[in-house]
Chain A
Amino acid sequence: MARFLARRLLGAAAVLFAVSVLTFLIFQVIPGGDPALRMAGREATPQTVHDVRRAWGFDRPLYEQYATTMEKILDGSVVSYSQQINVEQEIARDLPPTLSLALGAGLIWLLFGVLFGVLGAVRAGRASDRALTVLALLGVSTPIFFLGALMLYYLGYRWGLLPLGGYVPLTRDPWGWFTHMLMPWLALSIASIGIYSRVLRAGILDTLGEDYVRTARAKGLSERRVLVHHVLRNSLIPIVSLWGLDLAAVIGGGAIVVESVFDLHGVGQYAAESIARLDVPPVLVVTLLVACAVVVLGVLVDILYALLDPRIRLSA
């Protein structure tokens, strides 16, 4: 276990290093990406640009710039180019909406994914299963921002049922938080509900064909017990681990889009806006944060997998 952790964490560190270098480099090759020009302001004299460059260390060799930036990120003192505010504090402020979004949507898609998956498998081949299949595929096929825009238009604008975006802190107004998050949650989780229900349905059907399920039936167990203790118990294992991985992935993917659509002022939106401003430090920090989440959750999922499935031993 300790060795496993050590190896995995070492690998994780390598991955994070590569991710940070890559991000850093991407912004170096951008034409017009020289932050000194933008920071020096309008009609700046070459002298001014030069000064800015010196002050921020943009005249240093790349690896040195990279090193200092990473150092600042690690000790929490990194400042954005465009607004010159502390990036990590800014991210800490933007974390609640992002976490509300990801965790809430994650729970929703897990819950409904499992529900529909079980329903579909139990009624495999029947009309209700086909309907669920069609719905699931529709969910998978709908772009998040299209769904978000439609919801905003109909639920928010036309029918006035829900607020038109924005974020209300849970601590300030729980009900407001809920109503503001409802549409983002739905927009973010629909596709995953589709995927999870399909994966689980297939998993259950596979498991139903397993010999040990036949054994369980031959033991005279009730169908319910067979389903819950033998079928679900086994087919949920991959789902649970999938969930962990997706939760991390969604922060760097769908959540950014949803935050932008619903104006949640979350970490993803901050990153997307920073990219538009060619502001490297926030992008770097958010990217690392997301990559960190992906890597760490990857390790956690492996551990969880080993806990849930006694056949798996942690190695490699």
Chain B
Amino acid sequence: GSSGGTGSSASTASSSSPTVTVLMGTPPDSLDPGLGASTQSYEATWLAYTGLVTYAHAAGAAGAQLIPGLAQSLPSISADGKTYTFTLRKGLHYSNGRPVQAGDFAYTIERAIKLGWGNKQFLTGYIAGAEAFDAGRAHTISGISSNAASGQITVKLTAPFGPFLNVLAFPAAGLVPSGTPLKPLPNDPPPGVGPYEIAHVVPNQSFAVLANPQWAQQAIPGIPGGHANIAVKIVSNNQTAAEQVLSNGADVFDWNDTVPGTLLGQVHAQAASRYSQEPTVSTEFFFLNVKSKPFSSQLVREAVNYALDRQALSRLDGGALTPACYLLPIGMPGHPAGPCPYGDPNATVSAANLAKAKELIVQSGMAGTSVDVWSEPHPPHKEYADYYASVLNAIGLKANVKIVAAAQYPATIGNIKTTNPQTGWIAFSQDFPNPIDFYQLLNAESIAPTENHNLSQVNDPHIQSELTALGSVPSSKLDTVTSRWEALDEYVAQKAYIAVIGYDDVPKFTSQRIDFGALVFHPVYGNDWSTLQLK
């Protein structure tokens, strides 16, 4: 019998539900949950592939809360933090009607690893035996065991890893039936458990997210059933897309896209009630390579932080930027509330601060050093770089902009051997709501010759010791260490290892017929389509 589903199953979308058109600027990288790793993919797949745990369908901090998904409750975690034990709910069925079995979990994880899911390092790096499985030395993952009868699933880790539950909340860990082909199925995604299923995929053009006919009988608390069927259309021109939503030709604008600044006035005038700026848990910053001149000097790094006018940068982003100086963004536990060390990001740079910046450069003895500013062409990142370069020039350095195609950008700036970039633009958005995710960017262990992620190449003992301590705290107990994270983040700002631009705001923008207020903007997955409903 179906367990508990009482309150939340009131609304469940069905084939007779209305259809809502959602626009997407960039096609999902893959709609196969075992492969897809882009926000566009997650936006769809998290509704169709529920894992043992998942996020609450709510906006803001509440949305970052982990809730039991296919598991009856959050797992029990052993004292050493290395063993997680789940119990599968009873009577679950995939969208094709097949019953869910405890063994499917192991298969799902194995499949994601075999297919090469973009974030599989979170699996292979921590689950015992996953590495061996990946390398082909084992046929199964030794660290995962399950009991078909009791529905018990045990996962053993090689080391305690705080955000492991967040990893299991990824759609890639959303269960698929054992025996699902071990090859990518982006055009015909496998069955899953969730309020929706993905169908009618026309790659790079459109796909549908339809009500899962099996869902009604097994509704899980906290997971709404949805109100409408979703038709997703890829429109890569954000201009066109914005105009379509403005004129009600389509229903939902892609929050990953920007409404062109030039159209914003019109949007504010005509559609104020269905447009808002939603903060995302992401940070844009310029890395400052401490291993090479001139940013090896703390004075220079401070000067940059003094001189950068975040107000100007915000205008370059059409105003959709919350100016800031801390790495951890608003909405992420550990975000410091205190004032910034080098000038107020919410005010135009004062003449005094600018003068100070120039003076610092002179003091550092680095005046006239030439600096390559790296960025990619996508707006407004190139504009950031142009502006940034002009600031560097203004304070006494010799800056030169280098723009690299988006696809090459990460590999280019991540290559210490050949490029070894001095400074450049970078944005990071959370994979999961745990500050350790952001701190990979300043972790000395992330420094690598070709796949470098610590672009400032910071190797600070204080940071390293704090990360070791804080990293093993499970996500569910994060609130116990918030203040330590805040202190660490303030320390980083003080050292000026990076020059934070701010936190990106994204547009939540719908047509008139959508109930704008009811649409949840989820902190991890953006617009929560299961909350889309007509007025």
**Contact present between A and B (CB < 8 A):** yes
Kindly state the separation between the CA atoms of A273 and B125 in the bound complex, as whole angstroms. 33
Q: In whole Å, how far is A263's beta carbon from the nearest beta carbon of chain B?
A: 5
Kindly state the separation between the CA atoms of A164 and B440 in the bound complex, as whole angstroms. 43
Q: Name the residue of chain B whose CB is nearest to the CB of A277.
A: B407
Residues of B within 8 A of A41 (CB): 37, 116-121
Interface residues on chain B, size class:
35 or more
Q: Is B180 in the interface zone, CB < 8 Å from A? A: no
Q: Which of B95-138 contact A (CB under 8 A)?
A: 116-121, 124-125, 131, 134-135
Interface residues on chain A, size class:
35 or more
Q: Which of A37-67 contact B (CB under 8 A)?
A: 37-49, 51-52, 55
Q: In whole Å, how far is B155's beta carbon from the nearest beta carbon of chain A?
A: 20
Q: In whole Å, how far is A80's beta carbon from the nearest beta carbon of chain B?
A: 9
Which single member of B121, B131, B203, B440 contacts A85 (CB below 8 Å)? B203
Interface pair A82/B408, CB less than 8 Å apart: no
Q: In whole Å, how far is B45's beta carbon from the nearest beta carbon of chain A?
A: 14
Q: Which of A89-121 contact B (CB under 8 A)?
A: 90, 93-94
| B-contacting 9-mer, from A25-33, A248-256, A306-314 | A25-33
Kindly state the separation between the CA atoms of A42 and B170 in the bound complex, as whole angstroms. 15
Q: Is B406 in the interface zone, CB < 8 Å from A? A: yes
Q: Name the residue of chain A whose CB is nearest to the CB of B440.
A: A43
Q: Is B73 in the interface zone, CB < 8 Å from A? A: no
Q: Is A222 in the interface zone, CB < 8 Å from B? A: no
Interface pair B406/A31, CB less than 8 Å apart: no
Kindly state the separation between the CA atoms of A38 and B118 in the bound complex, as whole angstroms. 9
Contact A85 to B235, CB < 8 A, known contacts A41-B119, A48-B134, A93-B202: no
Interface pair B186/A85, CB less than 8 Å apart: yes
Contact A164 to B243, CB < 8 A, known contacts A32-B411, A48-B120: yes
Kindly state the separation between the CA atoms of A239 and B228 in the bound complex, as whole angstroms. 55
Residues of A within 8 A of B448 (CB): 46
Contact A42 to B205, CB < 8 A, known contacts A83-B29, A85-B187: no
Interface of A with B (CB < 8 Å)?
Answer: 30-34, 37-49, 51-52, 55, 82-85, 90, 93-94, 157, 164-166, 263, 265, 270, 273, 276-279
A-B contact pairs, 18 of them (CB 8 A): A32-B410, A32-B415, A38-B410, A41-B119, A42-B121, A44-B121, A45-B125, A46-B448, A52-B116, A83-B27, A85-B187, A93-B203, A164-B237, A164-B239, A263-B235, A263-B237, A276-B405, A278-B408
Closest 10 CB pairs of A and B: A32-B411, A41-B118, A32-B408, A164-B240, A278-B407, A84-B184, A277-B407, A32-B412, A263-B237, A165-B240
Q: Could you list 10 further interchain pairs (A-B, Cβ under 8 angstroms) beyond the known A38-B411, A47-B135?
A: A33-B411, A37-B450, A38-B410, A41-B117, A43-B453, A44-B451, A45-B121, A48-B121, A83-B27, A265-B234
